[in-house]
């Protein structure tokens, strides 16, 4: 068995680049912001709510993934992205539709 590797905890901000600022990207950003403000829970987020089984099933050791792996927290995420349309993400949110949906 190989020697375990010590992984240092994540430090600083983590940039997330999104290709296309349509429904999926803008929903991701809105979801993270809602969780940060305490308006929502990270339901469906593997890194925030998912568990991993350690040892045998009978041992009952199933900690959350983010307790075992030193991941960046949601407060450390910063978003950037690009789209073929000139409109930015905020403008798309303000009008109530994803920024990549054309009005014509």
Q: pLDDT at position 98, please? A: 47
d(CA 14, CA 32): 13
Q: pLDDT at position 67, please? A: 85
> 60 vs 46, 48, 55, 73, 101, CA distance in Å?
19, 19, 8, 26, 47
Q: Is residue 30 one of the residues assigned to a domain? A: yes
Give alpha helix (H) positions in 1-104: 23-36, 46-49, 65-68, 89-94
Q: Is residue 65 one of the residues assigned to a domain? A: yes
**Three-state secondary-structure class, residue 77:** strand
Structural domain containing residue 52:
17-94
Q: pLDDT at position 15, please? A: 94
Q: pLDDT at position 22, please? A: 79
Q: Is residue 103 one of the residues assigned to a domain? A: no
Count how many domains the chain has: 1
Q: Is residue 32 one of the residues assigned to a domain? A: yes
**Cβ neighbours, 10 Å, residue 22:** 18
Average pLDDT, the chain: 81
Q: pLDDT at position 49, please? A: 80
């Amino acid at each position: 068995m190989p020697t375990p590797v010590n992984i240092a905890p994540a430090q600083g901000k983590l940039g997330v680049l999104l290709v296309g600022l349509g429904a999926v990207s803008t929903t991701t950003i809105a979801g993270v912001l809602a969780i940060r403000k305490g308006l929502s829970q990270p339901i469906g987020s593997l890194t925030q709510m998912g568990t991993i089984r350690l040892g045998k099933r009978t041992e009952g050791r199933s900690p959350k993934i983010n307790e075992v792996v030193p991941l960046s927290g949601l407060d450390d995420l910063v978003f950037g992205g690009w789209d073929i349309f000139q409109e930015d993400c905020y403008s798309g949110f303000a009008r109530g539709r994803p920024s990549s949906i054309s009005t014509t």
